[in-house]
């Protein structure tokens, strides 16, 4: 099994949805990177200004992570949002409407989500036993997304996954 497969297998060993788990970690890592090294990087600033900051969920998440780790602190968030504010003020002065693109972090997480589901479906024949024997349960969304890809790529696995899913859900319901 390749490195990505090993990484997926690790996520499957834990309880809960392995894809959600991977995405949560990815989101936190990327926010950490932004706060730690990229606050003043021009390309990151540009991304933030295109979306005029983050969606409410990610804005609070950024603040939460910034304050939870003394290595980051509030300065990074302040720098980012001071910059956003100056863009906004300038648009008011010039009476130009600002076009807001989608939140930069939502975008990144969605791409990661797609890649993770694809990687999982590519390797699912090797991972299905681990999934079966683990406490992991794909959430409804990620189960459906994986099923969609498996139907195209390895339809023989879909029925097996459906059965495991029912069994795991029943089991978690009783315990
Ligand atoms: Zn999930
Ligand atoms: Zn967002």
Encoding tokens for residue 138?
């794909």
Q: Compute the average pLDDT of residues 138-150.
A: 97
88 CA distance to ligand 2 middle (Å): 19
**H runs (alpha helix) in 36-103:** 42-50, 56-68, 75-94
Question: 14-23, 92-101, 141-150: which range is least confident on average?
Answer: 92-101
- Using alpha carbons, select from 174, 152, 175, 168 the residue that is nearest to residue 18: 168
pLDDT (0 to 100) of residue 173: 66
pLDDT tens for each residue of 21-51: 999 999 999 999 888 877 778 888 888 888 8
Q: Which ligand is nearest to the CA of 100?
A: 2
List the one residue out of 97, 96, 157 whose CA is nearest residue 121.
Answer: 157
**pLDDT level of residue 14 (50, 70, 90 thresholds):** very high
Task: Dig out the tokens for 166 from the structure.
Answer: 């029912």
111 CA to middle of ligand 2, Å?
A: 12
Looking at residue 175, its pLDDT comes to 54
Q: CB neighbours (10 Å) of residue 124?
A: 20
Q: Residue 174: which pLDDT band, with cuts at 50, 70 and 90?
A: low
pLDDT category at 159 given cuts 50, 70, 90 is very high
Mean pLDDT of the chain: 90
Ligand 1 centroid–CA 21 distance in Å is 7
Q: How far is the CA of 51 from the centre of ligand 2 (A)?
A: 10
| C-alpha torsion 11→15→17→18, nearest 10 | 0
Residues around the ion ligand 1 (C-beta < 5 A): 17, 19-20, 139, 142
Report the pLDDT averaged over residues 2-10.
94
Under 8 Å between Cβ of 32 and 69: yes
**pTM, rounded to two decimals:** 0.86
Q: How far is the CA of 18 from the centre of ligand 2 (A)?
A: 21
pLDDT at 99: 84
Query: What CA–CA distance (Å, rounded) separates 163 from 98?
Result: 50
69-97 pLDDT, tens digit per residue, is 888 888 888 888 888 888 889 989 999 88
């Amino acid at each position: 099994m390749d490195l990505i497969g090993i990484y997926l297998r690790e996520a499957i060993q834990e309880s809960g949805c392995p894809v959600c788990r991977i995405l949560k970690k990815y989101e936190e890592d990327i926010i950490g990177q932004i706060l730690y090294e990229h606050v003043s990087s021009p390309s990151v600033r540009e991304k933030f200004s295109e979306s005029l900051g983050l969606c409410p969920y990610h804005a609070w998440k950024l603040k939460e992570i910034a304050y939870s780790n003394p290595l980051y602190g509030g300065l990074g968030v302040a720098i980012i949002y001071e910059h956003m504010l100056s863009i906004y003020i300038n648009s008011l002065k010039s009476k130009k409407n600002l076009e807001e693109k989608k939140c930069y972090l939502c975008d990144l997480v969605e791409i990661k989500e797609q890649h993770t589901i694809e990687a999982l479906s590519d390797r699912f024949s090797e991972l299905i036993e681990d999934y079966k024997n683990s406490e992991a349960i794909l959430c409804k969304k990620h189960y459906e997304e994986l099923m969609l890809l498996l139907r195209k790529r390895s339809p023989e696995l879909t029925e097996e996954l459906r059965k495991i899913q029912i069994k795991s859900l029943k089991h978690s319901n009783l315990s």
